[in-house]
A and B are shown apart, each in its own frame.
Chain A
Amino acid sequence: MNDQWIELNIGPQHPSMHGVLRLKAKLDGEIIRELEPVIGYLHRNAEKLCEMGFYCDNLIYFDRMDYVGAMNMEVGYLEAAEKILGVPPPDRAKWIRVIIAELSRIAAHLVWAGAYGLDLGMLTPFFYCFAEREKILTIFTEACGSRQETNYMSIGGVYQDFNDKIIQEIKDFLETFPKRLEEIYNLYVKNDVFLSRTKGIGVLSKEVAIAYGVTGPMLRASGVEYDVRRAEPYLFYDKVNFEIPISHKGDNLARFLVRFEEMRQSLRIIKQGLEKLPEGPYFNPKAKKSMMIRLRGDGEYYARTESSKGEFGVYIVADGGVKPYRVRVRSPTFKNLSILPVLSKDVMLADMIAISGSIDLVFGEIDR
């Protein structure tokens, strides 16, 4: 520690620390020499709480992990829990889950896209993104009566079937959204100041990304074509056509472009899902609502899914009881955050904010 350096505490209450990240930074003028993230301000003991609840109850803790894209968390938990309990969902429920999970991915990416503008000092795109996200949340409200912590899926299916109104709303969204998405996209990438803040800043190489266990859009922006939806398909992701966007640049702009391309691919998946949505039951009769808490499971299972932030893993150990013995979550954002001190070494303070924004931090998931 040089005595000319300033020690600066950024967060936990700071406008651009998404949620409650605290960074201990040592600054040499405007340049960051050392950076240490401090986490745990949003710790709610979710993994331990899961041991005390029935399998069907635990879903609510997963809603509150990645609260901007809650449906993907539910998919992750149910992938594991349903295997343990032996109540696979029927086809219609699986397709509904695909559609809803992709909508949720778009919603999460929109929050990120808006907040990234705020990180860089750009006020306007935030509202454009949230106006679009609002339409997705309206669809969720129609489906389950809740906007953010949805609790829509349930063991053996989904809580409510899609009715015609929801399908119509999704179709309307598919029609209007691509145009708006391009508008938001152009607001960013046609702005030279934005490009100067993102191009070549925070370059993450392929090797470092793999070594730190970075997943999701961050990994794909560094040139690794890895997506759990393709590598180890769950639900019906092997039956839909979509591309995995990758970029070899690894900088902030690459992460931005990859996320926007992912939203376009999600739209493709939703469209195919609506076409292939079969008639039939939306709920496994074995997991009737009145019987759900009596379901017992044995063994252990690790399920991994692709959430909007990266590879989301849920590991459940069961001991034959009605409650899980142990639940462990592999949080993608936690692994992605570990790259921040590496990327922010010897960069300017403003660039560090741009890099931490590009990681897409959601603290519900990091602290759990």
Chain B
Amino acid sequence: MNILHWIYGVLSFLGHDIGYALAYIIESIILLIFVSVMLIFMIYLFRKYMARVQQRIGPNRVGKFGSLQLIADALKLMGKEIIFPKERDDLPYKVAPYIVFFGLILAFAFLPYGNLSIFGNLTITYSDVSIIFIFAILAIMPIGEVLAGIGSHNKYALMGALRSVAKDVSFEVPMMLSVLAIVMMASARTPTSLSLESIVTTEILPYGILEPIGLFVFFIAMIARASYAPFDMGESDSELVSGYSTEYTGMRFALFYIGLFGSIFLGSLLIALLYIGGFNGPFSSQIGFIWLMVKGLILVLISFTIWLSMPRIRIDRLVNAGWKYLLPISFINLVLAGVLTLGLGW
């Protein structure tokens, strides 16, 4: 029983073919709405949390406690004049924000969300190789950033894009290696060890306890992936004005901005799923979804705290950290995972 079947159950009077087709469409719309609402909530949370950290009040004019501020801002951005740089490379410039944004939404479609009371399992798309798919999608997003940097025909944007690529390349490998360690350990228990769903459902202990090194590496790589301080290389706002998004205005800028928060949310959910048990918890057959969200939001708040208290690291030190420290550490983690799996049979 999952949410697709639940929707089909409501629509079954339309017959098998049309019913399932409509159910898939409705399911996609639900996903889009869910992700958008979560992102709006996250940006609101960020602004309020940032204000608390910085001894300010934060948004408090539009709606109760400023809760509608984000909607007001979005409307303002839509109404803004869109300024195109004169010598832009048209197609990359226009396509880039959408690649970043929709790549992000696609990744959400393959996450397992756990159960929620009558709706059953909320997972949108099942796949036996969902990990490969999610990390492939995560590798598409930097392409959007590069296209934005090249297409803007602006030196700041280009340098921001180059920094962003340098950062992504140096953290992608440690990130994949630490995921590989988990897949290795899960393969002892499930034949579909590349599926996030079966990794989480078959775990005995959260992998964060078995592989603290992997958690550390993956967390740092996720900070770099989402690109916030201390690794906000793509933007580097005090050096490169606004990095690859320098020349963007209006909704296209908003897509980059939302993409940043989306990456934080996605990264937190991935950490929650892979390392701290995801939707597992007491009564997880009824409220597993809520467990996942609670764990995810706690991780989001930790990310915000890091963001707000760290200066930006220098690009050469960042690349060094990726290749010289995180990569060897993640190899050690891989070996340890092998020892745990084969030697001790965990």
Binding site for B on A (CB under 8 A): 6, 8, 14-16, 30, 117-124, 126-128, 131, 187, 191, 193-194, 196-197, 348-351, 353
Is B314 within 8 A of A197, CB to CB? yes
Closest partner residue, chain A, to B155 (CB atom): A8
* Pairs of residues from A and B, 3 with the lowest C-beta to C-beta distance, nearest first: A121-B312, A120-B311, A127-B54
Q: Contact flags (1/0) for B37-57 with A, using CB distance below 8 Å?
A: 000000000000010011110
For B237, what are the chain A residues with a Cβ–Cβ distance below 8 Å? 15, 121
Closest partner residue, chain B, to A123 (CB atom): B308
Tell me, rounded to whole Å, the shortest Cβ–Cβ distance linking A325 to chain B: 44
Is B241 within 8 A of A191, CB to CB? no
Q: Is B86 an interface residue (CB 8 A)?
A: no
* Cα–Cα distance between A6 and B156 once the two chains are bound (Å): 11
- B140-181 CB contacts (< 8 Å) to partner A: 155-156, 159, 163
For A191, what are the chain B residues with a Cβ–Cβ distance below 8 Å? 309-311
Is B54 within 8 A of A124, CB to CB? yes
From B236, B311, B312, B314, name the one whose CB has the most chain A CB atoms within 10 angstroms: B311
Our pick among B159, B239, B311 for the contact of A122 (Cβ within 8 Å) is B311
User: Given A123-B50, A127-B55, A16 and B239 touching (CB < 8 A)?
Assistant: yes
Closest partner residue, chain A, to B310 (CB atom): A193
User: Given A6-B155, A122-B229, A348 and B238 touching (CB < 8 A)?
Assistant: no
For A121, what are the chain B residues with a Cβ–Cβ distance below 8 Å? 229-230, 232, 236-238, 310-312
* Cα–Cα distance between A124 and B311 once the two chains are bound (Å): 10
For A127, what are the chain B residues with a Cβ–Cβ distance below 8 Å? 54-56
Our pick among B238, B308, B316 for the contact of A120 (Cβ within 8 Å) is B238
Binding site for A on B (CB under 8 A): 50, 53-56, 155-156, 159, 163, 229-230, 232, 236-239, 241, 308-317
Tell me, rounded to whole Å, the shortest Cβ–Cβ distance linking B231 to chain A: 10
For B55, what are the chain A residues with a Cβ–Cβ distance below 8 Å? 127-128, 131
For A351, what are the chain B residues with a Cβ–Cβ distance below 8 Å? 314
* Cα–Cα distance between A128 and B56 once the two chains are bound (Å): 10
Is B241 within 8 A of A122, CB to CB? no
For A131, what are the chain B residues with a Cβ–Cβ distance below 8 Å? 55
Closest partner residue, chain B, to A197 (CB atom): B311
For B316, what are the chain A residues with a Cβ–Cβ distance below 8 Å? 30, 348
For B309, what are the chain A residues with a Cβ–Cβ distance below 8 Å? 122, 124, 187, 191
User: Given A124-B53, A128-B55, A193-B230, A16 and B238 touching (CB < 8 A)?
Assistant: yes
From A6, A187, A193, A196, name the one whose CB has the most chain B CB atoms within 10 angstroms: A193
For B155, what are the chain A residues with a Cβ–Cβ distance below 8 Å? 6, 8
Our pick among B53, B54, B314, B315 for the contact of A196 (Cβ within 8 Å) is B314
Tell me, rounded to whole Å, the shortest Cβ–Cβ distance linking B36 to chain A: 26
Closest partner residue, chain B, to A120 (CB atom): B311
Tell me, rounded to whole Å, the shortest Cβ–Cβ distance linking B222 to chain A: 17
Is B238 within 8 A of A124, CB to CB? no
* Cα–Cα distance between A78 and B54 once the two chains are bound (Å): 39
* Cα–Cα distance between A213 and B229 once the two chains are bound (Å): 37
Tell me, rounded to whole Å, the shortest Cβ–Cβ distance linking B146 to chain A: 17
* Cα–Cα distance between A122 and B55 once the two chains are bound (Å): 15
* Cα–Cα distance between A288 and B234 once the two chains are bound (Å): 61
Is A118 within 8 A of B238, CB to CB? yes
Tell me, rounded to whole Å, the shortest Cβ–Cβ distance linking A20 to chain B: 15
Is B311 within 8 A of A350, CB to CB? no
Is A353 within 8 A of B314, CB to CB? no
* Cα–Cα distance between A105 and B309 once the two chains are bound (Å): 26
* Cα–Cα distance between A245 and B229 once the two chains are bound (Å): 32
Closest partner residue, chain A, to B307 (CB atom): A123
For B232, what are the chain A residues with a Cβ–Cβ distance below 8 Å? 121
For A348, what are the chain B residues with a Cβ–Cβ distance below 8 Å? 314-316
For the A-B complex with A30-B163, A121-B312, A187-B309 known, give 19 more contacts whose Cβ atoms are closer than 8 Å: A8-B155, A15-B241, A30-B316, A120-B238, A121-B311, A122-B229, A123-B229, A124-B54, A124-B308, A124-B309, A131-B55, A191-B311, A193-B310, A193-B312, A194-B311, A197-B314, A348-B314, A350-B236, A350-B314
Give 30 CB contacts A-B under 8 Å.
A6-B155, A6-B159, A30-B159, A30-B316, A117-B311, A120-B238, A120-B311, A121-B229, A121-B232, A121-B236, A121-B237, A121-B312, A122-B309, A122-B311, A122-B312, A123-B50, A124-B309, A127-B54, A128-B54, A191-B311, A193-B310, A193-B311, A349-B159, A349-B239, A350-B236, A350-B239, A350-B312, A350-B314, A351-B314, A353-B238
